[in-house]
């Protein structure tokens, strides 16, 4: 079982971002964390959590580093008893608010992995993305994390934008690899509704060869690609858990939970959530939808797709892909050797 | 009978047939201004949208001239060559025809084709020059054109404007004076021609008839002469676009609607003769021949589960369109579908559109083909409606293909272009007449294969839209033809095979694979598209494999969102047809149509 906690506060809104977060609701932090506590209590009971069953926790956002360690303390008190011994506990951090004190505070509560929203080490590009930090802040925050005692550190890079040259990406990677990280997420800029970029879709600019080169360069550093966007000498248990279709609790405004065959959606509006943290929308997935998700998640990552779950027709299609060397087959599972094609492969099985 | 006038209106498209019909109805006071919506006479959606008449409509009108009452029966004819069989039966029901010619445009190809048919039926032709309100109107020049092109006297041509109502009264008077009163003998036994029939949800098959001899009475047992079916007359009505009137009988010389309560298709047929069951007449009126399809195409549901839905939809369409013929067919590439026969290209388009629109089906139509008479070495004749079924070359003694007589009228400045086009289409000139200094009439014999697809559009574009065209099927002639196959990823896609002249086969093959390369999106693998004649590959293009299709963004636990994005893509793919490992978009099947 996994646990996701959503923190819907940000210092400012980045141009590309459609995640559920507010820049003008900081006064609600305390009551929000209380509501979060209420929902968590409820979820632990609903998921029948007993004993040490939680394999990983991920605190995401929004910006988790906008909320002080003290406010997290009660929550950790509530959930820590259910942690497995080798649990992974990750928090996202923004370089501008990820101070040494904050990081130490979370480290002491039991967080053992940090994921930095760096996006780039180029100040011009950071400005275009409307990030609240600069390159130096990012470098020192990550160096500090190591000092505080974190061994598992990751950073996010956004690529495929109109704000970069090959040299810029080369430089970003060079700097990233001088820092004490063992994981890197590389996301291609995606234009989302209700963002500053919504009406300038041309800022998302992808050149296939560039992408192939970039992803290869990360791998060449010895970071294994274990999903289309994720690389490392360490693989995040939380990520793998999603793709392996494990159950997860989703707590907070804009979080998503999953149990057996149903997704749970707490309210996204922060005030509404605070009022009724237990009013949660449900979406029950059909067998067909579950199968479709298992297929695309399996092809996006090293998880692969179990032959046993496929229909006769899908197997027939998969065998064509095998013959064409677009898939490999090992011990009952199909694996995708080129994650860039993963959606097309998933579609191919059904057409 | 003396006071009845049965007349049709014939015209080239857009010369004002519908407008004039509406104006005549209004002038006779049969419809109030308020009821006068957009064009009374075209009732189907598709008819209104395309500005053509597919089903013949009729209306019975009252008119008074010099204090004497008359009944004017206006018989509207289908406005397209595809439906010329129905046109000919409508004309057979009339005694005169108004020949409408646009005062600014002059005589066009369809005008001529229609006139020939009216003359075949011995109709009194009243030339009517319409749109005289237009500044560009040249009635004298047009009258002259009518005389030179058709050879009928146009000195008393009626000058009208259907739009502004000029000359309508004179026109009605002329109809009374010049259209002969109906012939026929009221004392003889019943003899009537069915010139239209359709299916009514409540009444069943309904026939629109013109009675020549005797009368049709309610309750009478009548016989349909082609199939000897006997049925009782349940109801009789006089036709009107808004309000039909019941009547106890339809008399000699009249037109009317006959309800027989027949629920099956294919019994009440256009062109058949209706007579009294107990005392049948000796001979039928003209020859009854079921409408013969000229063009065939495969129609396949994109979603292979929809085969039965397609069958049901075709069955329903046939209720109102007895000329529609179809039989199940299997394609290696497309699965189960139907080979459907059409009266022509327009008919095919209308049927496909109705199937998609009214029955909510997504269809792939294969390239239309004419029928080939293939004579084998052992003397047997095979009629091939589907190019992929052309027998092996070494079994074929000869292939004969259908020809048409193509009539084109063009401004002389485009004469060169038009003649080049006709020659490129293997046309042989039969006639070239200058209607006046500026306009030329051409008649060519052309293989029908060359005009079923794209010809009309090309003609329009090389003549800036001014040339007009009509055609009439003639006979079969020997042709040096070969089957051109298309291979996708090494396999022949049967639905893409076409029959082409040997001389241009290589050039067509090259053009076709080039087109296909543009149309087929990149796939997971490299795909070869080849054109072949027999086992000889004559052209090849390669579609490179795709490099990327994935959204590389962070979704966390919101996997539903990611799934929905993929579902959208899947819906897009569903509109393609997967053939082996390749997904072909619908346009690929139409690309064979665009060959020039
Ligand atoms: N100016 C003018 N336009 C007309 C006249 N009669 C018809 N039209 C227009 O010509 C076009 C074609 O007319 P329509 O009756 O649909 O032609 P059809 O295809 O022969 O039935 C329409 O836009 C009419 O409004 C007329 O007497 N004068
Ligand atoms: C949950 S988000 C935000 C984490 C954190 N608040 C931050 O911005 O540093 C995690 C990552 O998703 C990526 N991301 C967010 N929106 C994106 C978009 N529209 N296109 C591509 N990547 C995006 C960014 O790299 C971001 O760091
Ligand atoms: S990218 Fe991170 S910091 Fe920027 S708006 Fe989104 S959640 Fe907030």
Same domain, A225 and A302: no
Q: SS3 of A196, please?
A: helix
Nearest of A294, A300, A304 to residue A328 by alpha carbon: A304
The mean per-residue pLDDT over the stretch B158-178 comes to 95
Tokens standing for residue B136? 């560009």
Last residue of a domain, one of A181, A213, A243: A243
pLDDT of residue B502: 93
Same domain, A129 and A239: yes
DSSP code per residue over A212-269: HHHHHHHHHTT-EEEETTEEESS--HHHHHHHTT--EEEESTT--EEETTEEEEE-SS
The C-alpha atoms of residue B307 and residue B336 are separated, in whole angstroms, by 7
| Ligand 2 binding pocket includes A11 (Cβ within 6 Å) | no
Which ligand 1 atom sits closest to the C-alpha of B162?
27
Does pLDDT of B518 surpass 50? Answer: yes
pLDDT of residue B593: 63
Q: Helix crossing, A100-109 with A69-79: angle to 10°? A: 10
pLDDT of residue B580: 81
Residue B283 belongs to some domain of the structure: no
Residue B287 belongs to some domain of the structure: no
Pocket of ligand 1 from Cβ distances under 6 Å: B 11, 13-19, 51, 79, 130-131, 133-134, 161-163
Does pLDDT of B452 surpass 90? Answer: no
Indicate yes or no: CB of A258 within 8 angstroms of CB of B557: yes
Cα–Cα distances (Å) from B590 to A351, B44, B352, B519, in that order, read 21, 27, 13, 10
Residue B111 belongs to some domain of the structure: yes
Cβ(A170)–Cβ(A157) below 8 Å: no
Does pLDDT of B317 surpass 50? Answer: yes
Does pLDDT of B594 surpass 80? Answer: no
The mean per-residue pLDDT over the stretch B324-339 comes to 90
In this structure, the number of other CB atoms found within 10 A of the CB of residue B554 comes to: 14
Tokens standing for residue B254? 């009249």
Residues above pLDDT 90, as percent of chain B: 53
pLDDT band at B114; cut points 50, 70, 90: confident
Does pLDDT of B205 surpass 90? Answer: no
Same domain, B109 and B169: yes
pLDDT, mean over chain B: 87
Same domain, B243 and B207: yes
Instruction: Give residue ranges of B with CB < 8 Å to any A CB.
Output: 524-525, 546-554, 556-560, 562-563, 566-567, 569-570, 573-574, 576, 578, 580-581, 583
pLDDT of residue B176: 96
Residues 148-187 of A with CB under 8 A from B: 156, 185-187
State the best of B524, B546, B552, B573 to mutate against chain A, taking most chain A CBs within 10 Å.
B552
Q: Which residue, chain included where needed, has tokens 């003609």?
A: B459
Indicate yes or no: CB of B547 within 8 angstroms of CB of A187: no
Residue A255 belongs to some domain of the structure: no
Residue B282 belongs to some domain of the structure: no
pLDDT of residue A73: 98
CA angle A262, A91, A111 (to 5 degrees): 105
Same domain, B411 and B546: no
Does pLDDT of B54 surpass 80? Answer: no
A318 touching chain B per CB within 8 A: no
The mean per-residue pLDDT over the stretch B405-425 comes to 94
Indicate yes or no: CB of B548 within 8 angstroms of CB of A248: no
The mean per-residue pLDDT over the stretch B499-527 comes to 91
Indicate yes or no: CB of B552 within 8 angstroms of CB of A185: no
Residue B558 belongs to some domain of the structure: yes
DSSP code per residue over B262-324: E-STTSS-TT-EEEESSS--SS-SS--------EEEEEEESSGGGHHHHHHHHHHHHHH-TT-
Indicate yes or no: CB of B552 within 8 angstroms of CB of A320: no
Same domain, B246 and B331: no
A190 contact residues in B (CB cutoff 8 A): 551, 553
DSSP code per residue over B220-249: -EEEETTTTEEEE--EEEE--SS--EE-SE
Classify residue B90 as exposed, middle or buried by CB count within 10 Å of its CB (0-12, 13-18, 19+): buried
Spell out a b/e string for B395-410, using b for 16 or more CB atoms within 10 Å of the CB, else e: ebeebbbbbbbbbbbb
DSSP code per residue over B449-512: HHHSSSHHHHHHHHTTT--EEEEEEEEEEEE-EEEEEEEETTEE-GGG-EEEEGGGHHHHHHHH
Residue A270 belongs to some domain of the structure: no
Does pLDDT of B46 surpass 70? Answer: no
- Which pTM was predicted? 0.73
Does pLDDT of B52 surpass 50? Answer: no
Which ligand is closest in space to the CA of residue A20? 3
List, in sequence order, every residue forming a beta bridge with B482; answer none if it has no partner: B500
CATH number (domain holding residue B129): 3.40.50.300
Same domain, B35 and B134: yes
A343 touching chain B per CB within 8 A: yes
Cβ(B425)–Cβ(B451) below 8 Å: yes
Please report, in tens digits, the pLDDT of each residue of chain A (351 residues total). Answer: 999 999 999 999 999 999 999 999 999 999 999 999 999 999 999 999 999 999 999 999 899 999 999 999 999 999 999 999 999 999 999 999 999 999 999 999 999 999 999 999 999 999 999 999 999 999 999 999 999 999 999 999 999 999 999 999 999 999 999 999 999 999 999 999 999 999 999 999 999 999 999 999 999 999 999 999 999 999 999 999 999 999 999 999 999 999 999 999 999 999 999 999 999 999 999 999 999 999 999 999 999 999 999 999 999 999 999 999 999 999 999 999 999 999 999 999 988
Last residue of a domain, one of B432, B454, B479: B479
Residue A346 belongs to some domain of the structure: yes
Tokens standing for residue A194? 């209700």
Last residue of a domain, one of A243, A258, A279: A243
The CA R_g of chain B, rounded to the nearest whole Å, is 27
Same domain, B23 and B153: yes
Q: Helix crossing, B559-574 with A287-300: angle to 10°? A: 100
Q: Is the bond preceding residue B10 a cis peptide, omega within 30 degrees?
A: no
CA angle A85, A90, A91 (to 5 degrees): 145
Tokens standing for residue A142? 């990550």
A289 touching chain B per CB within 8 A: yes
Same domain, A145 and A209: yes
Nearest of B447, B440, B382 to residue B411 by alpha carbon: B440
pLDDT of residue B34: 54
The C-alpha atoms of residue A245 and residue A238 are separated, in whole angstroms, by 11
Last residue of a domain, one of B324, B349, B365: B365
Residue A254 belongs to some domain of the structure: no
State the best of A7, A155, A256, A294 to mutate against chain B, taking most chain B CBs within 10 Å.
A256
Cβ(B468)–Cβ(B109) below 8 Å: yes
pLDDT band at B81; cut points 50, 70, 90: low
Nearest of A58, A231, A248 to residue A159 by alpha carbon: A231
Same domain, B577 and B461: no
The C-alpha atoms of residue B73 and residue B4 are separated, in whole angstroms, by 7
ipTM above 0.90, yes or no: yes
What is the domain extent for residue B255?
191-276
Residue B230 belongs to some domain of the structure: yes
Four-CA torsion A276, A278, A280, A285, nearest 10 degrees:
180
Same domain, B13 and B122: yes
pLDDT of residue B596: 52
CATH number (domain holding residue A184): 3.80.30.20
Q: Which residue, chain included where needed, has tokens 């329009």?
A: B460
In this structure, the number of other CB atoms found within 10 A of the CB of residue B69 comes to: 9
Four-CA torsion A205, A209, A211, A214, nearest 10 degrees:
-130
Nearest of B49, B58, B53, B55 to residue B12 by alpha carbon: B53
Q: Which residue has the higher pLDDT, B527 or B575?
A: B527
Does pLDDT of B506 surpass 60? Answer: yes
Same domain, B492 and B564: yes
Q: SS3 of A2, please?
A: strand
CA angle B465, B469, B475 (to 5 degrees): 155
Total length of chain B: 596
The C-alpha atoms of residue B449 and residue A33 are separated, in whole angstroms, by 77
Residue B290 belongs to some domain of the structure: no
Same domain, A81 and A222: yes
Q: Helix crossing, A135-148 with A100-109: angle to 10°? A: 40
Does pLDDT of B586 surpass 80? Answer: no
Q: Is B186 left (phi over 0), alpha (psi -120 to 50) or beta?
A: alpha
The mean per-residue pLDDT over the stretch B275-287 comes to 88
Same domain, A157 and A300: no
Q: What's the total number of domains in chain A?
A: 2
When mean pLDDT is compared across A233-242, A271-280, B43-52, B449-458, the lowest value belongs to B43-52
Indicate yes or no: CB of B552 within 8 angstroms of CB of A228: yes
A228 touching chain B per CB within 8 A: yes
Same domain, B44 and B63: yes
Same domain, A115 and A218: yes
pLDDT band at B329; cut points 50, 70, 90: very high
When mean pLDDT is compared across B60-64, B350-354, B571-575, the lowest value belongs to B571-575
Strand ranges (DSSP E) for B131-190? Answer: 158-159
The C-alpha atoms of residue A82 and residue A51 are separated, in whole angstroms, by 5
Q: Which residue has the higher pLDDT, A165 or B511?
A: A165
CATH number (domain holding residue B337): 3.30.70.870
Nearest of A97, A61, A91 to residue A76 by alpha carbon: A91
In this structure, the number of other CB atoms found within 10 A of the CB of residue A334 comes to: 25
CATH number (domain holding residue B461): 3.30.70.240
Last residue of a domain, one of B276, B306, B340: B276
Same domain, B139 and B127: yes
What is the domain extent for residue A61?
2-243
Same domain, B474 and B491: no
Q: Which residue has the higher pLDDT, B201 or A119?
A: A119
Question: Distance from CA of residue A78 to its chain's centroid?
Answer: 23
- Taking the alpha carbons of B131, B132, B134, B139 in that order, is the dihedral positive or negative? positive
Give the DSSP letter of residue B414: G
pLDDT band at B466; cut points 50, 70, 90: confident
Same domain, A318 and A199: no
Last residue of a domain, one of A177, A210, A243: A243
pLDDT of residue B149: 86
Nearest of A334, A313, A307, A331 to residue A323 by alpha carbon: A334
Residue A207 belongs to some domain of the structure: yes
Nearest of A141, A168, A144 to residue A157 by alpha carbon: A168
List, in sequence order, every residue forming a beta bridge with B501; answer none if it has no partner: B481
pLDDT of residue B396: 94
DSSP code per residue over B87-142: HHHHHHT-SEEEEEEETTT---HHHHHHHHHHHHTTPEEEEEEE-TTSTT--HHHH
């Amino acid at each position: 079982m996994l646990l996701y906690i959503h923190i819907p506060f940000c210092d400012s809104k980045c141009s590309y971002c459609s995640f559920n977060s507010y820049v003008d609701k900081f006064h609600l932090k305390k009551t929000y964390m209380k509501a979060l506590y209420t929902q968590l209590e409820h979820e632990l009971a609903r998921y029948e959590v007993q004993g040490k069953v939680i394999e990983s926790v991920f605190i995401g956002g929004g910006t988790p580093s906008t909320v002080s360690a003290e406010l997290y303390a009660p929550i950790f008190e509530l959930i820590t008893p259910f942690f497995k011994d080798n649990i992974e506990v990750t928090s996202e951090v923004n370089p501008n608010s990820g101070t040494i004190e904050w990081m130490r505070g979370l480290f002491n509560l039991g967080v053992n992995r940090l994921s930095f929203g760096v996006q780039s080490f180029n100040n011009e590009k950071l400005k275009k993305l409307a990030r609240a930090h600069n390159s130096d802040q990012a470098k020192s925050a990550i160096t500090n994390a190591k000092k505080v005692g974190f061994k598992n550190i990751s950073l996010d890079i956004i690529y495929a934008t109109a704000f970069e040259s090959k040299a810029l990406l080369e430089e970003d990677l060079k700097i990233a690899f001088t820092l004490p990280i063992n994981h890197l997420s590389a996301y291609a800029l995606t234009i989302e509704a209700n963002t500053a970029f919504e009406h300038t879709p041309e800022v998302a600019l992808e050149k296939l060869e560039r992408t192939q080169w970039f992803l290869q360069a990360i791998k060449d550093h010895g970071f294994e690609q274990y999903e289309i966007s994720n690389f490392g000498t360490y693989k995040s248990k939380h990520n793998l858990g999603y793709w392996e279709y494990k159950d997860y609790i989703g707590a907070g405004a804009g979080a998503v939970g999953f149990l057996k065959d149903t997704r749970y959606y707490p309210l996204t509006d922060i005030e509404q959530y605070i009022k009724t943290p237990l009013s949660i929308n449900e979406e029950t997935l059909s067998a067909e939808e579950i199968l479709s998700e298992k297929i695309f998640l399996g092809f996006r990552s090293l998880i692969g797709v179990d032959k046993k779950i496929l229909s006769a027709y899908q197997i027939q299609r998969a065998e064509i892909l095998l013959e064409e060397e677009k898939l490999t087959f090992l011990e009952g599972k199909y694996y995708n050797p080129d994650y860039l094609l993963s959606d097309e492969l998933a579609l191919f099985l059904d057409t | 009978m003396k006071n009845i006038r049965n007349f049709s209106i014939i015209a080239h498209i857009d010369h004002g047939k519908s407008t004039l019909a509406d104006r005549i109805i209004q002038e006779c006071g049969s419809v109030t201004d308020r009821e006068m919506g957009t064009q009374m006479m075209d009732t189907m959606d598709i008819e209104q949208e395309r500005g053509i008449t597919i089903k013949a409509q009729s209306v019975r009108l009252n008119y008074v001239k010099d204090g004497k009452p008359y009944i004017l029966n206006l018989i509207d004819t289908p406005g397209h060559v595809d439906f010329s069989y129905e046109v000919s039966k409508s004309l057979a029901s009339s005694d005169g025809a108004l020949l409408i010619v646009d005062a600014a445009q002059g005589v066009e190809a369809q005008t001529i084709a229609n006139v020939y048919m009216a003359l075949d039926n011995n109709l009194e032709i009243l030339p009517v020059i319409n749109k005289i309100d237009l500044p560009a109107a040249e009635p004298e020049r047009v009258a002259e054109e009518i005389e030179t092109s058709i050879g009928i006297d146009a000195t008393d041509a009626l000058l009208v404007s259907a739009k502004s109502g000029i000359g309508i009264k004179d026109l009605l008077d002329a109809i009374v004076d010049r259209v002969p009163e109906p012939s026929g003998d009221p004392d003889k036994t019943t003899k009537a021609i069915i010139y239209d029939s359709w299916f009514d949800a409540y009444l069943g098959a309904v026939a629109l008839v013109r009675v020549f001899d005797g009368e049709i009475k309610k309750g009478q047992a009548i016989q349909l002469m082609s199939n000897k079916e006997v049925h009782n007359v349940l109801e009789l009505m006089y036709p009107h676009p808004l309000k039909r009137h019941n009547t106890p009988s339809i008399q000699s010389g009249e037109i009317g609607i006959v309800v027989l309560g027949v629920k099956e298709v294919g019994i009440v047929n256009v062109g058949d003769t209706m007579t009294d069951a107990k005392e049948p007449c000796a001979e039928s009126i003209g020859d009854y021949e079921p409408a013969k399809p000229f063009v065939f195409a495969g129609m396949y549901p994109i979603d292979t589960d929809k085969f039965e839905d397609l069958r049901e939809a075709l069955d329903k369409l046939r209720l109102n369109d007895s000329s529609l013929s179809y039989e199940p067919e299997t394609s290696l590439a497309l699965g189960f579908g139907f080979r459907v026969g059409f009266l022509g290209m327009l008919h095919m388009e209308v049927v496909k559109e109705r199937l998609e629109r009214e029955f909510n089906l997504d269809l792939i139509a294969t390239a239309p083909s004419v029928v080939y008479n293939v004579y084998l070495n052992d003397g047997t004749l095979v009629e091939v409606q589907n190019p992929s079924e052309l027998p092996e070359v070494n079994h074929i003694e000869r292939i004969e293909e259908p020809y048409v007589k193509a009539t084109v009228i063009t401004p002389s400045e485009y004469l060169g272009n038009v003649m080049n086009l006709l020659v490129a289409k293997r046309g042989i000139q039969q006639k070239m007449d200058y209607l006046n200094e500026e306009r030329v009439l051409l008649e060519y014999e052309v293989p029908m294969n060359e005009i079923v697809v794209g010809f009309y559009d090309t003609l329009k574009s090389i003549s800036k839209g001014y040339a007009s065209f009509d055609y009439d099927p003639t006979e079969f002639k020997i042709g040096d033809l070969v089957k051109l196959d298309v291979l996708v990823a090494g396999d022949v896609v049967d639905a893409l095979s076409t029959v082409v002249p040997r001389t241009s086969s290589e050039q067509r093959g090259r053009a076709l694979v080039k087109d296909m390369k543009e149309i087929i999106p990149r796939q997971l693998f490299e795909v070869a598209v080849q054109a072949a004649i027999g086992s000889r590959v004559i052209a090849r293009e390669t579609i490179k494999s795709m490099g990327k299709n994935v959204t590389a963004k962070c979704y966390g636990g919101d996997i539903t969102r990611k799934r929905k994005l993929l579902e959208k893509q899947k819906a897009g793919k569903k509109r393609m047809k997967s053939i082996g490992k390749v997904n072909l978009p619908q346009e690929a099947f139409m690309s064979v149509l665009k060959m020039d």
